[in-house]
Every structure is written in structure tokens, then in C-alpha cells.
Structure 1
Amino acid sequence: MELRETELPGIGRKYSLCTRSGEKLVIVVHNDERRDIFHMDPDEPDELLSIVTLDDEEARVVAAIIAGITYKPKFLENQEIALDSLIIEWIRLEPMSSCIGKQIGELDIRRTTGTTILAVVKKDKTNQINPGADYVFTAGTTLVVAGERKQLNQLKNLLLNGML
């Protein structure tokens, strides 16, 4: 993620960020405590897709939700506790992930990382349980994977950066 901060004299402060998925957000925090959130077109950086204006209270509520302060899925908490050192995790494949277009077998995931891909959830919310070695990774899908913390970190590095 790339984050830039700019002072806007007489207005407030501007934050520009590009996410791993290529989305661009511009957030302006006004001196009167309003927040404007601009969602920019990733293909046309000067084109605005949407804007949301929040007052101070609304911004704090949204921030708490996004930060996970108000809710953490109980399923995830229970899985980590119930399964001891085995962790089940969800990994979203972004367009810039180095595994895009490659097969599970080609990356030899189980042998190189010790993890198992339990399921693939596609953008349209359809899923594939226990995908085989010939499954081809696509951007925007979410993998449900299992392994120990160190193994999962290796898997993330392999999928996202092409290295262990």
C-alpha cells in the first residue's frame, strides 16, 4: 500500500492511498471535522467513481468498523483456538499477485509450503471445494487455506511475491 499525506492550507489535510488491488482513495479531513472520501478510477486516475462525505461522528464509527474494533468474526477466533497450531485463513488474490495465471500444481504448494488449499471462493461468490493441481489462480478470488502460521506466511509470499 502506498500512502501520501499533504497539508491543504486553510482546508485541512489530504491522504492519498493506493491499495494492493490497485484501488485509489483520496481522503480529505477538513478543519471543520468533515471527511470526504473519493474513490478514483484505477484506469483514469483523474476520474472520480464515487464520493462519500462523513461528519466527525460518522467517520469515527466507520473507522472503528474498518479497523475491526467493533466486530471480529467469531468463526476466525474459534478456529484459531479450537485447532491449536493449525490456522485456517482467507487470502485474497489481487491483480498484481505473481501467482495469477499459474496452476496449484505448477507452484507445488503443498510440498513447498506445507499448506493446503481447502477451497476457492470466486468473485461471483461461487466456490470450489478442494481444488486440484490443475486449478488456475485468478485475480479477485479468495483462497481458504490451512497450515501453521510460518507455513501460511510462506504461502502468502509465494502467491503474492513469487518467492518463499
Structure 2
Amino acid sequence: MNIKESDLLGIGKKYQLLTRSGDKVVMVVHDDGRRECYHYDHYDAEDSLSMITLDDEEARLVAEIIGGMTYKPKALETIEMALDELVIEWYRVEADYKAVGRTIGELNVRQASGATIIAVVEKHSGVKRINPGPEVVITSDCTLIVAGERRQQKYFKTILMNGCE
């Protein structure tokens, strides 16, 4: 799934999602808590087929349902067993993190934490680096996608915020 995020000054944030099946969905999160969801035609990405407005409470309830907090499909249980303790986390790198300006190799991420950075997404340029090498520099506002067990994720977060251990 491809997601684009943009700020709407004085309004909130806009998220545009293009699903694997080709659907385009736009969600606007207003500063007052309202959410607007738009669904677009497969064949005409500019033609909105439907729109729904949710208040904050309704949006959170829908998120619980979609996120599987109330019901988990049976097929997902076997996938979770296969992955066992593996967790994939997304980290938005803040400007004050000590890892900013340093390379993945300098931080010695894999050896120090056991976690692996599997992708880096640059917010401003939209550049995506899958399986980044040790020479890749961590920049402010990029998103790091990291695989590892929970304890490894905890160590990784410490390295990200404080630099090398």
C-alpha cells in the first residue's frame, strides 16, 4: 500500500492511500477531531464515489474494528505463529534524536540491538530505500521500518534516540 501524508494548514492532515487492489482512499483528519473519508473510482482517480464523516469517538471505534482489536480472522493466527516473536515497527526520526546525521553502520544497529532496518523512507523526497546498507545516513523526519523481537526493538529505540550504546 502506498501512503502520502500532507499537512493542511488550518485544517489538519490529509492521508492518501493507494491500496494493492487499486482503490484510492483519502482521509482528512481535522484539528477538531472530525475525520472525512473519501473513496475514489478505480478508473477515474478524480471522481469520488463516496464520502463519510466520523467524529473522534466513531473514528477510534472504526480503527479498532479494522485493526482487528475486536475480531482476528483465523488465517492471521497461522501467520503470527510463523512470525513468532518477530515484530515490524515504524519509527519517525525526530530532529533531536542523536542518530540523526549518522550512518546505519556507525550506529552498529544490528550488532548492538539485534534489530534490522529493513527500509528507510525519506519524508520530503519520498525516496524509499529497501534493505539499506551501512552507508545510509539517518535523517530527521525520515521513517525507519525495523524488524526484530520486542526486546530488540526496545534496544533499537534507545540507539535511535541516544546514538551508539
The TM-score by the shorter chain falls in which range?
Answer: 0.5 to 0.7
1:58 paired residue number: 55
The residue type equivalent to 2:142 in the other structure is T
TM-score scaled by length of structure 2 = 0.55
> Structure 1 pair 107/53, CA: closer, same or farther in 2 (3 Å)?
closer
Deviation at 1:98, TM superposition (A): 1.8
Instruction: Name stretches of at least 5 consecutive residues in structure 2 with no aligned partner.
Output: 1-9, 13-29, 35-53
> Structure 1 pair 111/143, CA: closer, same or farther in 2 (3 Å)?
same
> Structure 1 pair 143/51, CA: closer, same or farther in 2 (3 Å)?
closer
Mapped to 2, the partners of 1:135 and 1:90 lie a distance apart of 17
1:71 paired residue number: 66
> Structure 1 pair 110/150, CA: closer, same or farther in 2 (3 Å)?
same
Mapped to 1, the partners of 2:127 and 2:150 lie a distance apart of 27
The residue type equivalent to 1:126 in the other structure is V
Mapped to 2, the partners of 1:108 and 1:163 lie a distance apart of 7
1:83 paired residue number: 83
Mapped to 2, the partners of 1:102 and 1:119 lie a distance apart of 16
Equivalent position SS for 1:117: strand
Mapped to 1, the partners of 2:92 and 2:143 lie a distance apart of 4
Q: Residues 11-160 of structure 1 correspond to what in structure 2 (within 5 A)?
A: 51-52=31-32, 58-64=55-61, 68-72=63-67, 80-123=80-123, 124-160=125-161
Mapped to 2, the partners of 1:116 and 1:53 lie a distance apart of 35
Instruction: Name stretches of at least 5 consecutive residues in structure 1 with no aligned partner.
Output: 1-36, 40-49
Mapped to 2, the partners of 1:90 and 1:125 lie a distance apart of 15
The number of residue pairs the alignment matches comes to: 112
The residue type equivalent to 1:130 in the other structure is N
The residue type equivalent to 1:59 in the other structure is D
Mapped to 1, the partners of 2:33 and 2:84 lie a distance apart of 43
Mapped to 1, the partners of 2:101 and 2:163 lie a distance apart of 12
For the 8 Å contact 2:108–2:164, the answer to whether it is kept is no
> Structure 1 pair 134/83, CA: closer, same or farther in 2 (3 Å)?
same
> Structure 1 pair 62/95, CA: closer, same or farther in 2 (3 Å)?
farther
> Structure 1 pair 103/80, CA: closer, same or farther in 2 (3 Å)?
farther
Larger mean Cα displacement after TM superposition, 96-105 or 79-88:
79-88
Give CA-to-partner distance per residue, 1:103-141, whole Å, 9 cap, x none: 111111111111111111121433101111111101121
Deviation at 1:38, TM superposition (A): 8.3
Deviation at 1:81, TM superposition (A): 4.0
User: Percent of aligned pairs with the same residue?
Assistant: 38
